[in-house]
Amino acid sequence: MNGLSEIVAGDEGLRAWIAPTRTAVLVIDMQVDFASPDGLLGQYGVDMSVVQPALAAAERLVSSARSAGVPVVFVGLFTTPETDSPAWNERMRRRGGDPETDAALCRLGEAGSEFVGPRPEAGEVVVRKTRYSGFVGTDLHDRLTALGVDTLVMAGVTTECCVDSTARDAFNLDYHVFIAADACAAYEADIHAASLKVMELNSAILTDTVQIADAWKGAA
């Protein structure tokens, strides 16, 4: 982190800017197919050990949020054959795949779509998406409006894809966006670092779960 992120994290600004009365936590795509060795990407040989620290950090973040009375919203990919994007299928074909026979990620009702790491508790909002951004084709914005929040703290996988896409759309909808950097992960360290830098430049303020927990300490 550098620049504004360091300034905010180091003073009382963060405490006010992510106050529980205005903030929600978004947990994005921490699901079996994306974050567990038992999931589809793990079966394809993607090293899921790089995701484990982010899952643990996200669990700490969610625990801190619940203790402080901050609402936690789980956003996940839940697909069906009917929701498969024609553009996605064509991209798969052009990359040598076959959408007719290749297994699909996070099928609704199957084990691959289940959350890992932090899991929703009774009464917490779960938003099902079919695109990268949690705001596309969902009622996420309406849900957040109903909660009365204008500030989002985000965690999830992958940093460069669904976290970044959701952060950009949140910023364009005039939310104040904070990224819990240690509670996000990509499958390659350089991509994770580059994505954090891009978000910091354009749409978000970077922080981490320790600073967030400190800011919420004693809030409940």
The CA-to-CA distance between both ends of the chain, in Å, stands at: 28
Q: What is the pLDDT of residue 7?
A: 45
Phi, psi of 183 (to 5 degrees): -105, 20
Q: What is the pLDDT of residue 3?
A: 44
Q: What is the CATH number of the domain that holds 31?
A: 3.40.50.850
Q: d(Cα 164, Cα 133) in Å, to the nearest integer?
A: 8
Q: What is the pLDDT of residue 8?
A: 52
Domain presence at residue 220:
no
E strand map for 48-175 = 72-77, 125-129, 151-157
Q: d(Cα 201, Cα 199) in Å, to the nearest integer?
A: 5
Say if residues 77 and 113 touch (Cβ distance below 8 Å). yes
pLDDT per residue as tens digits for the range 67-113:
999 999 999 999 999 999 999 999 999 999 999 989 999 999 999 99
Domain count, the chain: 1
Domain presence at residue 111:
yes
Strand partners of residue 156 = 28, 184
Handedness of CA 117, 120, 122, 123 (dihedral sign): positive
Full-model pTM: 0.93
Domain presence at residue 25:
yes
E strand map for the chain = 23-28, 72-77, 125-129, 151-157, 176-185, 205-207
Q: What is the pLDDT of residue 193?
A: 98
Domain presence at residue 113:
yes
Q: Any idea which residues carry the catalytic annotation?
A: 29, 129, 162
Domain membership of residue 157 as a residue range: 4-215
